[in-house]
């Protein structure tokens, strides 16, 4: 709408009066538009408050997911790393494990016979003209069909066959007179027979006979454990790579720092959501004061933190060190959490559960998803409704503005016509006044 003070200019002496009439008419017609704009401001403030709430509850859901992904970590320290190395996961029990490595074991290795054709270029030559071979490992035959009649293709075919051997090509000649051989090594430890036959002859000779690894844990058993792998399981969640004969202690320690940090972040996100809700309560509250959504979200937070379940020493959040103050805010006592985790790790895991299977994490995730689901979530559908209301209100304002513009243009046209008519009459009055004055002057003379 144009500025009322400039929408009309006239030439008659009544133009300012006509302007005032026009201004007042447009002002009266604009009253519904002012009301619509005030309503739009209210809707926009409500939408902004909903966006702020959505941000806090989205952050709370993200923090909850952080609790789910955080795991209790453990570390394994080895007293003599030349004897073995060790790796532990979150399920490994803290403690000291004494490992006596009798033997780290060894694989069996074989080499192509020296009587076979010499190979100076493995990309063009091979140890046999056959197109198919039989590889036998520990009595199990496998057919080998190289893609070409070259030593390189033969080694590649063996490695892709799935047999428990690894093939390499080694040069036993000089740089100027190379002599390439096919070398095979068993992937398992022990005395494992390896042979390659081209249909007319065996092509390999055993270079070294392997042996299984042998070890004891805490002096047991009396007869050492044998393994066809140098990587062995010492205890649940604890593995070791045996490197050399000797003795080494493995000390496993557990840390819940990742989980405690995640719980601390969850507490911060929860309190931020509570503060955002508090801004829309009571006298002087925000745009959502009195909105049923505030009570719905508050109840959801109470349901989330009021979860009870699990077994043993951990059945609620308080047992994990999460407590409420008189304002409804959460606090986290890491010492309480560390103590219960050290004493009852399985109880902590049982209470927390997972987002998909059960426990606190599933209950809390389900609660927040009912609020934050993009399609059906309470917050998201309310935000969508608010945006629809704003769109509709903008259309009402546009329609009302069009009505006022039409009225204004009509009034301007009428006022202009009236002003022109008055100006014309004024000119006629001036003409006749001057004429009469002239006539009166002539008679006087």
- 49 in Cβ contact with 280 (< 8 Å): yes
What's the CA gap between 441 and 445, in Å, rounded? 6
Nearest to 269 by CA among 8, 53, 79: 53
Whole-angstrom Cα distance, residue 438 to residue 445? 11
The domain total for the chain is 3
Same domain, 330 and 340: yes
Q: Does residue 439 form part of some domain?
A: no
Question: Do residues 334 and 344 share a domain?
Answer: yes
289 with 349, same domain? yes
In whole angstroms, how far apart are CA 83 and each of 98, 232, 245, 249, 401?
A: 12, 13, 6, 10, 87
241 with 188, same domain: the answer is no
The pLDDT score that the predictor gives to residue 20 is: 82
The answer to whether residues 224 and 89 belong to one domain is yes
- The predicted structure's pLDDT at residue 1: 44
Predicted pLDDT at 389: 94
Question: Which portions of the chain are predicted below pLDDT 70?
Answer: 1-11, 442-445
Query: Residue 397: what are its φ and ψ, rounded to 5°?
Result: -65, -40
Q: What confidence score (pLDDT) does residue 89 get? A: 86
Are residues 293 and 230 both part of a single domain?
no
pLDDT of residue 8: 56
Are 95 and 141 in a shared domain?
A: no
Q: Which domain holds residue 154?
A: 107-208
Exposure letters 157-193 (e unless 16+ CB within 10 A, then b): bbeebebbbebebeeeeeeeeeebbbbbbbebbbebe
Domain-embedded: residue 444: no
Asked whether residue 441 is domain-assigned, the answer is no
For residues 296 and 373, membership in a common domain is answered with yes
* 191 falls within a domain: yes
Contacts of 23 (CB under 8 A, 6+ apart): 4, 5
Q: Is residue 200 part of a domain?
A: yes
Query: What pLDDT is recorded for position 253?
Result: 86
Same domain as 137, residue 98 = no
| Token pair of 429 as six digits | 């009055």
- 11/152 same-domain check: no
Looking at the structure, do residues 265 and 400 belong to the same domain, yes or no?
A: yes
């Amino acid at each position: 709408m144009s500025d009322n003070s400039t929408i009309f200019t006239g030439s008659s002496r009544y133009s300012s009066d006509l302007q005032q009439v026009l201004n007042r008419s447009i002002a009266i017609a604009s009253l519904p538009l002012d009301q619509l704009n005030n309503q739009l401001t209210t809707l926009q403030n409500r939408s902004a408050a909903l966006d702020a709430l959505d941000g806090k509850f989205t952050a709370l859901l993200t923090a909850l997911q952080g609790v789910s992904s955080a795991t209790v970590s453990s570390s394994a320290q080895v007293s003599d790393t030349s004897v073995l190395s060790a790796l532990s996961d979150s399920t490994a029990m803290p403690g000291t494990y004494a490992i006596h490595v009798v033997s780290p074991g060894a694989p069996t290795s074989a080499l192509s016979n020296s009587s076979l054709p010499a190979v100076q270029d493995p990309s063009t030559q091979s140890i046999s003209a056959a197109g198919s071979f039989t590889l036998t490992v520990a009595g199990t035959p496998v057919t080998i069909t190289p893609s070409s009649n070259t030593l390189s293709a033969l080694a590649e075919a063996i490695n892709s066959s799935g047999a428990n051997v690894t093939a390499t090509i080694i040069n036993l000649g000089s740089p100027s007179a190379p002599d390439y051989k096919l070398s095979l090594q068993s992937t398992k430890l022990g005395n494992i027979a390896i042979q390659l036959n081209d249909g007319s002859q065996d092509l390999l000779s055993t270079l070294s006979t392997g042996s299984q690894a042998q070890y004891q844990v805490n002096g047991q058993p009396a007869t050492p454990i044998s393994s066809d792998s140098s990587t062995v399981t010492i205890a649940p969640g604890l593995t070791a790579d045996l490197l050399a004969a000797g003795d080494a202690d493995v000390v496993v320690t557990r840390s819940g720092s990742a989980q405690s940090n995640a719980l601390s972040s969850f507490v911060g996100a929860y309190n931020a959501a509570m503060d955002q809700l508090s801004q829309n309560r009571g006298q002087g509250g925000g745009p959502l004061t009195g909105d049923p959504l505030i009570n719905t979200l508050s109840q959801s937070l109470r349901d989330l933190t009021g979860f009870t379940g699990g077994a043993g020493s951990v059945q609620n959040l308080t047992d994990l060190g999460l407590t409420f103050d008189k304002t409804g805010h959460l606090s986290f006592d890491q010492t309480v959490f560390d103590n219960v985790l050290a004493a009852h790790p399985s109880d902590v895991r049982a209470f927390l559960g997972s987002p998909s299977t059960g426990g606190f994490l599933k209950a809390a995730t389900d609660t927040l998803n009912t609020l934050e689901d993009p399609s059906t979530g309470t917050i998201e559908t309310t935000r969508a409704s608010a945006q629809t209301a704003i769109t509709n209100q903008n259309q009402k304002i546009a329609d009302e503005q069009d009505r006022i513009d039409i009225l204004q243009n009509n009034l301007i046209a009428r006022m202009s016509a009236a002003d022109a008519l008055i100006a014309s009459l004024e000119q006629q009055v001036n003409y006749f006044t001057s004429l009469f004055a002239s006539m009166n002057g002539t008679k006087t003379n």
